[in-house]
Amino acid sequence: MVPEWSWRYGFEPFAEYGDVFMTVSPVNCHIYIADREVITQITTRRDDFPKPAWMYRTVNMFGRNVVTTEGSEWKFHRKVTSPSFGEKNNALVFGETIRQGKMMLTKWTGEDGNGGITITDVLEDTMRLSLHVISGAGFGVSLQWPGMTEDGDLIRPLSNESTHRHTLSFKDALAGLLHNLLVVLVFPRWFLANAPFQWARKAAEASLEYQTYMNELFVEKRNEAIAGEKADGMDIMGALVKNSYGPETRLEEKKKPTTNNGDVERQALTDSEILGNAFVFLLAGHETSAGSLHYVLILLALHLDSQRRMQQDIDRIFGDRPVEEWDYNKDITAMQTSMIAAVMHEELRVVPPVINIPKQVSDESDQIVMYQGKQTIWPKGAVISLSALALQRNPKYWPSTGPSKVTEENNDLADFVPERWFVKNNVNGMQQREDVGIDGSAGKDASRLFHPMKGSYIPFSDGPRSCLGKRFAQVEIMILLAMIFKNYSVELAVDEVADDEAVEKMNEKERIALYEQQRATARSVMKNCSEIGITVRIKNGYVPIRLVPRGKERFIHLFKF
């Protein structure tokens, strides 16, 4: 009954009641799971444990898609959309993140790059960054940050054929839609547009503007596909349109395989399905990546030793090469086996954005699940949460590097310790799986990182319905970490306690004490102000940070590692 208990108490309830337990109320039965073998059964038996369809129904408003469908319809969507998330698109994500990261860094460190600016709206900026990266790599529309060029948030149609007079920029339409998502999904647009509240009319406006922009984009991409243009490095939506309208599709028309009853099997999405999928990519990839980037920066400001180690790896990988010379194909392998990847994996372990991944027992019949060698019967229709946060702190599966430095616990599994990903020995003598590498397979270098056991690490879920954008997100997070920490360190800002002049006058001991005090405040904000919505994020509070050029830190160098 404690709101946010999954976030507040982590593994504690599972230590008390067991790795799988059910709460029973007059409303429903709800099963919570932090056991890797049970989780593997749930994620592999898709038909027995589908997604709760009622949660997703409204997300079909722009067209049916890979997130909301089930059964053979989902299979079709997954088959058609997966190829557009391939290596070519990852390279595009790499390039777009660099482009966007540069603009964010200018905002955070000033035109002169001297840093020392206190940033309080970190989440707002990481939200903008992740939105812009999806816009660029997902839709092929590369956006500017305000103040960077004169046409930052330009209001203009995305297709020459359009005569629509837009009232919002593309970015504001995307952001406005996502900001008002719940009302837009629940109420019809005509109702919102005529409501006596300004917020409702704004929500309707954003939704209409978004739809019009996407229709314009679609027309442009369809024309390009028919003309056979833009084959390489294509954005995700472009690849979907090409699959439906490109010359290959027309050639292949006659060779389409047939199903058992002789029907022609569908190979391409309809226009509405393309637009529906574009919308859910935006939805699924925006808050998740932005939240991870936000938490990882705070965690690194708290864990200065890990920050230093990551910087050493960044120097080793990129040397003196300017960011313009970084190359996806050359650099990604080294990154995914370095401290950069360890920091990312660890952040997603301690703060998985989707804390409880929703599933349900099929409405058709009760299901048998093996738990601790015994058959258990799960009632039909029961709600299921794959409790990612608790699972990823379960001492059966994760190596502790010692007692917690933050709590009274005798293990450090609730602490952020990226170094644990370099622990070589198996946990409890059990075999670990070999698929943490970014490409899903363990290259020979990937042996440097710890390999969690199957079903014990699920920030992107697991099995056939796991996250389609996993590599997209991983590339984005890693490249941004490398860009920021190549030249800067992140420190907690202390303005609320001492101004710059006061810090300047402090001796070492006083500075260390001040930073420790800020650390405690930041930890408390993270713990008490984080809320679980679609993803977990800090609301009603903030942790201010500063980027400081390396070598000019005010605090980090005072701590001995």
Contacts with ligand HEM, residue ranges (CB under 6 A) = 51, 66-67, 78, 134, 138, 280-281, 284-285, 288-289, 292, 353-354, 357-358, 459-461, 465, 467-469, 472-473
Say how far apart CA 294 and CA 452 lie, in whole Å: 24
CA angle 312, 313, 319 (to 5 degrees): 85
CB of 15 to ligand HEM, least distance (A): 24
Cβ-based nearer residue to ligand HEM, 218 or 472? 472
CB of 359 to ligand HEM, least distance (A): 7
Cα torsion 435, 439, 445, 448: sign: negative
Q: Which residues does 125 contact at the CB level (< 8 Å), separation at least 6? A: 104, 107, 108, 119
User: Residue 15's CB: how many other CB atoms inside 10 A?
Assistant: 15
Cβ-based nearer residue to ligand HEM, 51 or 64? 51
Cβ-based nearer residue to ligand HEM, 139 or 515? 139
Q: How far is CA 85 from CA 137, 439, 462, 473, in A?
A: 10, 12, 17, 11
CB of 276 to ligand HEM, least distance (A): 11
Cβ-based nearer residue to ligand HEM, 289 or 518? 289
Q: What DSSP line would sit under 404-466, residue for residue? A: -SSSS-SS-TTS--GGGGG--SPGGGPPPPS--STTSS--SGGGGS--PPTTS--TT--GGGS
Cα torsion 7, 10, 16, 22: sign: positive
| Type and span of the H or E element at 522 | helix 508-529
Cβ-based nearer residue to ligand HEM, 288 or 400? 288
Say how far apart CA 262 and CA 258 lie, in whole Å: 5
CB of 480 to ligand HEM, least distance (A): 12
CA 425 to chain centre: 29
Cβ-based nearer residue to ligand HEM, 115 or 437? 437
Say how far apart CA 50 and CA 360 lie, in whole Å: 6
What residue number has its CB nearest to ligand HEM? 469
Cβ-based nearer residue to ligand HEM, 391 or 494? 391
Say how far apart CA 374 and CA 266 lie, in whole Å: 42
CB of 522 to ligand HEM, least distance (A): 21
| Type and span of the H or E element at 273 | helix 271-302
Cβ-based nearer residue to ligand HEM, 484 or 556? 484
CB of 45 to ligand HEM, least distance (A): 14
Q: Name the CA dihedral angle for 538, 355, 283, 179, rounded to a multiple of 10 degrees.
A: -30
Q: Which residues does 447 contact at the CB level (< 8 Å), separation at least 6? A: 434
CB of 482 to ligand HEM, least distance (A): 16
Say how far apart CA 505 and CA 391 lie, in whole Å: 46
Cβ-based nearer residue to ligand HEM, 115 or 140? 140
CB of 190 to ligand HEM, least distance (A): 29
CB of 354 to ligand HEM, least distance (A): 4
Say how far apart CA 402 and CA 50 lie, in whole Å: 39
Residues comprising the chain, all counted: 561
Cβ-based nearer residue to ligand HEM, 536 or 548? 536
Confirm whether residue 467 is marked as ligand binding: yes
- Residue 504 is encoded by which pair of tokens? 């300047």
Say how far apart CA 224 and CA 230 lie, in whole Å: 7
CB of 101 to ligand HEM, least distance (A): 15
- Residue 246 is encoded by which pair of tokens? 């490109």
User: Residue 400's CB: how many other CB atoms inside 10 A?
Assistant: 18
Provide the annotated binding site: 467
Provide the annotated binding site for heme: 467
